[in-house]
Amino acid sequence: MAPIRILVVDDSAVIRKVLSDTLAEDRALEVLGTASDGRLALDKIPLLKPDLITLDVEMPVMDGLETLALVRKLYPKLKVIMFSALTERGAAATLDALALGASDYVTKPSQTGSPAVAIERIRIELIPKIKALCGIAPPEVLRLPQPRSPSKVRERSNGRIDIVAIGTSTGGPNALAEVLPKIPYDFPVPIVVVQHMPPIFTRLLAERISFRSAIRVAEGSADALLSPGCAWIAPGDFHMKVAQRGGKRHLHLDQGPRENSCRPAVDVLFRSVVTAYGANVLAVVMTGMGSDGLLGAQEICDAGGEVIIQDEASAVVWGMPGAVRTSGLDDGAYPLDRLAAEITRRVRQSGVPGIPVEVASGAILEPPAK
């Protein structure tokens, strides 16, 4: 197989060298060249014909967002990974870049105290994303569960759906921005979400999606009371769980060990909703690399809950939903533009009672102003 051809774009000569040297160590990758700003990058793309570019957000002459907009216009299929700072400004710019069509992002190592540590973080975080976006599946650490026999029909112990749990990763911010705004304002159950993102990013993502949504979308917080018509996105670097206490369900946050190299992890959330809700769960596994969510989906299935996935054609990376499909755990695969309608249909037809006029927060639900 021919190596993945990469163009590195960054205004820092040190970063260009570190990235180039680190990527060149992998025989599946080939660094064709570098550029110190967006204008130079646009000049080099037609000459070098890369499969993927890494693109710094903040650069002189032409910054990453301006460059990305032109790349998407001129080379709509070219894979682009943004390289951004783990700051409020960097997070906001990264979300802007994803909305403009960036394939994914990696945060710059900072305050590591060691060049070797910074290089290792680039190797661990960037290279797998490059390979996944370019169609090279990483070796799975987990042994996938054996698919169920096609003749076995799973029976739900109770048809009602009392919570929707969503797991996603690569491509997830745009996917969530497509799905959550289409959930109706009177949605009768809570929604909990794990999106693999670092701190700051998850808060800004929740705020942006909430602004466009009929339901309230917020970053998860410790002891938040789950209520219908609201969605919570797990905060970066914290596992988010649903816990039952005093007959009510709350969010619990902790910094326990990473699972599937992730914190937050989808498997952690999925296991917790089974403990709190039993069979009354609808899980949704969306675009993302790796297999986080697979073992949690198995537990939801074993409990009698439902699992649906995003289909391969609409997923940026079909690793997570593909692992669920390969293991025979899903109850259906749907294109991104149909997922919200399918979620709503399944919940409404499950027999869940209608949403109360007053939700747990005391706010009265009204249709959004036009």
d(CA 296, CA 42): 43
Told to judge if 20 belongs to the known catalytic residues of this protein, a careful annotator would answer: no
Q: Which residues on adjacent β-strands are paired with residue 232?
A: 192, 218
SS3 content of the chain, % helix, strand, coil (to 5): 35, 20, 45
Pairing of strands 239-245, 248-254: antiparallel
d(CA 18, CA 123): 10
d(CA 48, CA 3): 14
Q: Which residues on adjacent β-strands are paired with residue 358?
A: 364
Selecting among 10, 36, 196, 272, the annotated active-site residue is 196
d(CA 79, CA 102): 7
d(CA 11, CA 231): 39
Told to judge if 104 belongs to the known catalytic residues of this protein, a careful annotator would answer: no
Selecting among 10, 292, 311, 330, the annotated active-site residue is 292
d(CA 216, CA 185): 8
Selecting among 36, 84, 103, 169, the annotated active-site residue is 169
Q: How far is CA 335 from CA 59, 135, 181, in A?
A: 36, 20, 16
d(CA 195, CA 208): 14
Q: How far apart are the first and last CA of the chain?
A: 53
Q: Are 171 and 197 in contact (CB under 8 A)?
A: no
Told to judge if 252 belongs to the known catalytic residues of this protein, a careful annotator would answer: no
d(CA 352, CA 280): 10
User: What residues act catalytically?
Assistant: 169, 196, 292
